[in-house]
Amino acid sequence: MEIRRMGPIGAEIVGVDLKTMDEATFGRIYQAWLDSNVICVRDQELEIDDFLTYSRRFGSVSPHPSKSTRHPDYPEITVLGINKFRPDGTLNKEIYRRGAEGFHTDGAYEEVPYKATQLYALAIPSTGGDTFFSSGYAAYAELPQHLKRRLEGRCGEFKYGGRRQANLLLDEEDRNAKPVRHPLIRAHPETGRTLLYFDCGKILGIEGLGDAESDTIIEEMKAYMVQPPCQYRHKWRKGDVVIWDNRCSYHKAAGDYPPEEDRIHWRVSIKDYAAS
Ligand SMILES: O=C(O)CCC(=O)C(=O)O
Ligand SMILES: [Fe+2]
């Protein structure tokens, strides 16, 4: 097995079969993931059960609240990119552009947010459809002192769909979940490194601040989410298994591939065993 760092974040792993690797090999993969925020294992041939078994090495697999996009036989699997066209032939943008509205972290609306998200690429378009990643550590490091001071010890309030109420992928009865609170500046539970935990598409406001200041600071934080060179652009190949750490990274789908082509992934949300 070879692990190739792609820069300050992102690593590509080749020469391993995730179905048969041993514990020591998984240990190296897990460490590369902690070191790189996001990793891609290339060239895998997996059935759903193989994908779930591998995913469970990282934590417990938790069904996504969007019920309409779950796999019919495996609720813990979300399928990205299917049923893109409505019966009348129009493109459903919620599905086609899922994850493309801005850099975000998955599951900030959960009491215990997802530790990781993992995707397995089943079909890849001829052009476009990349995924962009950036680092929550770098975002924190570059925040100006006045923002660090204002945010230290404060929580954000988060909800699926955020201030725009972008919740069309949820069933109607699931749209009124209570907002949850998370500290905006925190240490990563495994690496100990300090990071900015933030998602402008899910945050409602910053506790203890008035609406105007909260909105202003949210706009300011947004500007720090992508810090070149701490970014990685993933160009998908069929058979890729990509896992990102939602605790210390942000990501965004390009949302730009030819809609008539397939771009299909199995996707799981993973929580820490201790937390679930
Ligand atoms: O399809 C992608 O590239 C990523 C979509 C996304 O944001 C997610 O699956 O959480
Ligand atoms: Fe996402």
d(CA 222, CA 43): 35
Predicted pLDDT at 276: 57
Please indicate whether residue 234, judged by its CB atom, sits closer than 6 Å to ligand 1.
no
SS3 category, 194: strand
Please indicate whether residue 202, judged by its CB atom, sits closer than 6 Å to ligand 1.
no
pLDDT per residue as tens digits for the range 224-239: 999 999 999 999 999 9
Closest atom of ligand 1 to CA, residue 263:
1
d(CA 80, CA 253): 11
Q: Residues near 58 by Cβ (< 8 Å), separated by ≥ 6?
A: 30, 33, 115, 116, 118, 243, 270
pLDDT per residue as tens digits for the range 33-69: 999 999 999 999 999 999 999 999 999 999 999 999 9
d(CA 251, CA 180): 21
Residue 164 has pLDDT above 90, yes or no: no
**Mean pLDDT, range 83-96, rounded to an integer:** 97
Please indicate whether residue 271, judged by its CB atom, sits closer than 6 Å to ligand 1.
no
pTM (2 d.p.): 0.97
Do residues 67 and 275 touch, judged by C-beta distance below 8 A? no
Token duo for residue 57: 């090495």
CA of residue 80 to ligand 1 center, whole Å: 8
d(CA 116, CA 265): 16
pLDDT per residue as tens digits for the range 5-19: 999 999 999 999 999
Please indicate whether residue 38, judged by its CB atom, sits closer than 6 Å to ligand 1.
no
Predicted pLDDT at 275: 72
Question: What is the DSSP-derived secondary structure letter of residue 70?
Answer: B
CB burial of residue 179 (10 Å; 0-12, 13-18, 19+): middle
> Hey, whose CA ends up nearest to atom 8 of ligand 1?
99
Cα 231 → chain centroid: 14
pLDDT per residue as tens digits for the range 193-233: 999 999 999 999 999 999 999 999 999 999 999 999 999 99
Do residues 44 and 241 touch, judged by C-beta distance below 8 A? yes
